[in-house]
């Protein structure tokens, strides 16, 4: 382990360089002159070289080495100034960076809504959005690479803290000629239809399956796609049916040839909420965010 001069010593030396007078420099450093003398002397002892010429008590002369020390100090101290300034800024309440992870089956439908709210309500905060599958997001938050995730429950969030925002129903989306005259469906009604779902890993798939799995035979009538848009296009073209959460149904840009029918008795649902590490340094920010978003979603 190396033995460095202290930052205090470097600051003091810079003050001497600036004022070329011990008494004044000491004053500017809010210390007494003997303290300043002692500090410089100790630094010289530590470095094994004189930093100041003691030839003339009335005139301060830096040795070439002393000038080198001053130069290094002048390079280093501003970097620390910046660091402490950043720290100051970050330590303000409701400020700093929130690294927010969102699952793909929420992001496109909720983000356009809530991001402007956040930016408006918390102008000193910055948000970095990451879109990924639940499992990956949970990994990342555990690794400290994310501060907060917006996801769907139920999900095994281990030791994460969670906050529920809303619970939404699933709807059946099918071609227009399916289920004629039906105002609502039971999950049983979905049997024997091609059920189109997202590929493995998407919690939406699991939530949909969970709601219906008892009714679904273990056959090949399941199809996996990589995005909801793909699935919707396939439904519109008559390939089969799918289950959509309310926020997707509410989207204004659903394809034309799709009929939406509510599900009843029981109505399958998924829950949307935040999750974060217990004891995260961001808890206060997260609480403020949760409260604000929940208020807005009502």
- Which residue ranges make up the site for a second copy (CB under 8 A)? 1-7, 11, 28-30, 47-50, 53-56, 59, 61-65, 68-69, 72, 75-77, 79-84, 86-88, 90-91, 96-97, 99, 142-144, 277-281
Residues 60-89 that bind DNA (CB under 7 A): 60
- Smallest gap from Cβ 254 to a second copy, in A, equals 39
Determine the Cα–Cα distance for residues 100 and 127; give it in Å rounded to an integer.
7
Number of residues that this document lists for the chain:
298
Q: Quick one: 21 or 257, whose CB is closer to DNA? A: 21
Residue 40 binds: one of a second copy, DNA, none (C-beta under 5 to 8 A by kind)? DNA
Q: Could you tell me which residues are beta bridge partners of residue 196?
A: 223
Which of 39-47, 72-80, 107-115, 128-136 is the region at the interface with DNA (rule: CB under 7 A)? 39-47
Please select the residue that binds DNA; options are 35, 162, 257, 287, rule is CB under 7 A.
Answer: 35
Q: Coil, strand or helix: which one is 119? A: helix
- Smallest gap from Cβ 56 to a second copy, in A, equals 8
Residue 58 binds: one of DNA, a second copy, none (C-beta under 5 to 8 A by kind)? DNA
Determine the Cα–Cα distance for residues 52 and 44; give it in Å rounded to an integer.
9
Determine the Cα–Cα distance for residues 264 and 29; give it in Å rounded to an integer.
75
Question: CB–CB of 10/76 below 8 Å?
Answer: yes
Q: Could you tell me which residues are beta bridge partners of residue 197?
A: 224
Question: CB–CB of 213/259 below 8 Å?
Answer: no
- Smallest gap from Cβ 48 to DNA, in A, equals 16
Q: Quick one: 136 or 224, whose CB is closer to a second copy? A: 136
Question: CB–CB of 140/186 below 8 Å?
Answer: no
Helices 7-19, 64-91: inter-axial angle, 10-degree rounding:
110
What kind and span of H or E run contains 58? none
Residue 3 binds: one of DNA, a second copy, none (C-beta under 5 to 8 A by kind)? a second copy
Name the site residues for DNA (rule: CB under 7 A).
6, 8, 21-23, 30-35, 37-42, 52, 54, 56-60
């Amino acid at each position: 382990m190396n033995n460095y001069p202290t930052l205090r010593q470097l600051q003091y030396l810079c003050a001497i360089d600036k004022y070329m007078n011990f008494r004044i420099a000491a004053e500017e450093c809010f210390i007494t002159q003997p303290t300043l003398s002692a500090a410089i002397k100790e630094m010289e002892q530590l470095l094994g070289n004189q930093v100041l010429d003691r030839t003339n008590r009335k005139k301060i002369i830096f040795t070439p080495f002393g000038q080198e020390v001053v130069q290094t100090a002048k390079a280093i101290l501003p970097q620390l100034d910046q660091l402490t300034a950043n720290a100051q800024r970050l330590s303000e309440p409701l400020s700093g960076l929130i690294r927010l992870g969102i699952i793909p089956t929420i992001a496109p439908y909720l983000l356009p809504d809530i991001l402007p709210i956040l930016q408006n309500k918390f102008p000193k905060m910055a948000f970095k959005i990451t879109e990924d599958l639940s499992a990956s997001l949970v990994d990342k938050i555990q690794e400290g690479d994310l501060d907060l995730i917006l996801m769907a429950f139920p999900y095994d969030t281990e030791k994460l803290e969670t906050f529920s925002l809303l619970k939404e129903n699933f709807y059946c989306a099918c071609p227009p000629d399916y289920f004629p005259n039906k105002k609502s469906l039971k999950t049983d009604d979905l049997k024997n239809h091609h059920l189109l779902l997202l590929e493995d890993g998407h919690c939406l798939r699991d939530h949909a399956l969970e709601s219906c799995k008892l009714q679904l035979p273990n056959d090949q009538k399941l199809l996996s796609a990589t995005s909801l848009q793909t699935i919707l296009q396939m439904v519109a073209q008559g390939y089969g049916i799918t289950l959509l959460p309310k926020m997707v149904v509410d989207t204004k840009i659903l394809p034309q040839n799709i009929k939406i029918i509510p599900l009843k008795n029981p109505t399958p649902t998924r829950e949307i909420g935040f999750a974060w590490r217990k004891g995260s340094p961001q808890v206060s920010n997260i609480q403020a965010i949760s409260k604000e978003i929940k208020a807005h979603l009502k």
